[in-house]
Structure 1
C-alpha cells in the first residue's frame, strides 16, 4: 500500500477516505507492511478500519528492517525472536487483536525457512495471527515452508509485463492449494496509460529511479501499453 511512502507526498485524510470508498465498493483485503512509512502505513490502516474491522481481511508483513539513520538502508531479518516482537508491534500500530494474514516480506537467506515459519506458526497457536504467507519466495522455499505449516498465500509481482511467475511459482501454488496475491497488477500504475513521459512522476516518486521508468526503457514499455490499449478497444 503506497499511501505512506514511495509515490510522493500523501494526505492522511484522503488516504482514509480512499480506503473507506474501497470498502464501500466491495474491496475486502487490505495489505500493508511494517516497513511502509516506518510503520506509518499500519497506523493509517488502523485508523481507517477502527470501526470497520469486521469488514476487512487484514494482511501485513515483517522481515524488511529499515535503518532509521538511512532512508534507503534496509536489511532482512527472519529470526524467530525478531518476528515475534515485530508481530506484537504491528498489532499495536494497527490497533487490532489479531492479523488475518501474516507474511514474511522477504526470505532471510541466513535463517532456515523452517525456523522462521515454525515461529510464525506459534503466532497462529496464540491467536495473534490466523493465516501465514510468504512474499517473493522461490518454489523450493514455498514447499519447505508449507511442510512446516500450511501457507494460505504467496505474494509476488504479477501483471501483463511481469509474468515469469507463471513458469514455476503458479504451478507450485496450484499443487499445494496456496493462493497467489499479486502486487503491482497494473505495473505500478504504468499499465493505466496515465504516464506519457518520465517527467510525469513527482520528484519524490521512487519510479523516477526505477530502470523500468527511465530513458529508453520507459518509451519501450510505453509502446507495450499502447498495444494493450489497442487490444482492449478491439474487445
Structure 2
C-alpha cells in the first residue's frame, strides 16, 4: 500500500479490482437461535484476550489508513477527532497507525489531545524504514506525533527490514519502553516468511488481512497464532471499502437479524471477530456514525461455526 488521498466516504471506497469469489462455497447451515436481545446500546462490548499477557481489549478497533491522511485540512482533522470521540464513547480503545500512512499519526495525536483521551488509547503503531539504524529515530518521531509516553504495541510493517527492527522492538520491551511486539502483512503477501517468523520469534501480536472473501489465513496463520499464543489484529476487513460497495448492491439476508446485524458492515465484522483466533479487527472510517456502527459489531450475539460457514457461503455466491 502507498499513501493515498482521503476518500470522501469510507463506506464507498474505490474498487481496486473487480470483486472475485475469494472463498469456495460452503454448505449452508441453519441460523443460530437467539433469545430476545437487549438494546444494542445496553449490550456489553465483546472483549478479547491478548494471550501473552491476559490483557483484555475490545474486539473492534480503529484503523487510520487513508481515512486519517488528511494533511493540514482543519475541517477534516476536526472530523477525525469526532470519529475518535465517537470511538471512545462507544467503548473503543485500540487505534492503529503507521509512518506509512501520511499525516495519519499527526492527526491521531491532534485528535487525542483535542478530546483528552491520550490516557485511554491502546496505541498501536509500526516501524517502516529500510534500514535498522533509522528505526529508533522513526519510532521516537512517531511517539511524539501521537503525544503518548510510550506505545503499547509496535510492529514491523510488512516485514520491511524485520531482521534489523525486531531485535530493537524486543529490546525496547525488555527495557520497559514498549508493552508488545509484532509483525504485519497485508493482502496475502509473504505468508511463508510470515509463518516462519511467527514460529521462531517471541511475538505478542501479528496483523494480517482477513475478511469474508480473503480467507487464506484460516489454513495456517490463524492456527499457528493459536498454537504460539499470539494475538491477531485484522486489517482490510472491508477490502478498503470494495467489499461493502459490492455487498450493498444486495439485500441484507434475513439471518443477519439472528446475529444482531443492522447492515453489511456489521455482518462483515462479526464474521471476523467471531473467529476464535482473532483478537481485534481495525476498520478505518472517516465518519462518526460509521465508527459507532462498527463498534456495534462487537455487541450482542456472535456467529457460531455453522453460522460463519453460512455467511461465507452466502457472500461467495453473490
**TM-score exceeds 0.5:** yes
| Displaced runs of 4 or more, over 6 A | none
* Deviation, structure 1 residue 169: 0.8
Is the helix fraction higher in 1 or 2? 1
Name the structure, 1 or 2, with higher relative contact order (CA <8 Å, separation 6+). 2
Matched, 1:48 2:111: yes
Structure 2 gaps, min length 5: 1-63, 259-318
State the match for 1:102 in structure 2: 154
Which residue among 187, 195, 202 is the counterpart of 2:239?
187
**Contact map agreement 1:158 1:182 (CA 8 A) in 2:** yes
**Contact map agreement 2:153 2:182 (CA 8 A) in 1:** yes
> Which runs of structure 2 are paired with 1:136-215 in the superposition (5 Å)?
136=185, 138=191, 140-144=193-197, 147-148=200-201, 150-192=202-244, 195=245
Q: Distance in 2 between matches of 1:129 and 1:58?
A: 10
Q: Distance in 2 between matches of 1:187 and 1:140?
A: 23
State the match for 2:167 in structure 1: 118
**Contact map agreement 2:95 2:124 (CA 8 A) in 1:** yes
Q: Distance in 2 between matches of 1:124 and 1:234?
A: 44
CA separation of 1:4 and 1:176: change in aligned 2, threshold 3 A: same
Q: After the TM superposition, which of the residue ranges 120-129 and 22-31 deviates more from structure 2?
A: 120-129
Once the two structures are superposed, residues 92-151 of structure 1 have per-residue CA deviations (whole angstroms, 9 ceiling, x without a partner) of 11112200010111113xx5x444311211222343321111101635544436644x21
State the match for 2:252 in structure 1: 229
Count of aligned positions = 185
TM-score (norm 2): 0.52
Q: Distance in 2 between matches of 1:147 and 1:133?
A: 13
Structure 1 gaps, min length 5: 66-76, 196-221
Is the strand fraction higher in 1 or 2? 1
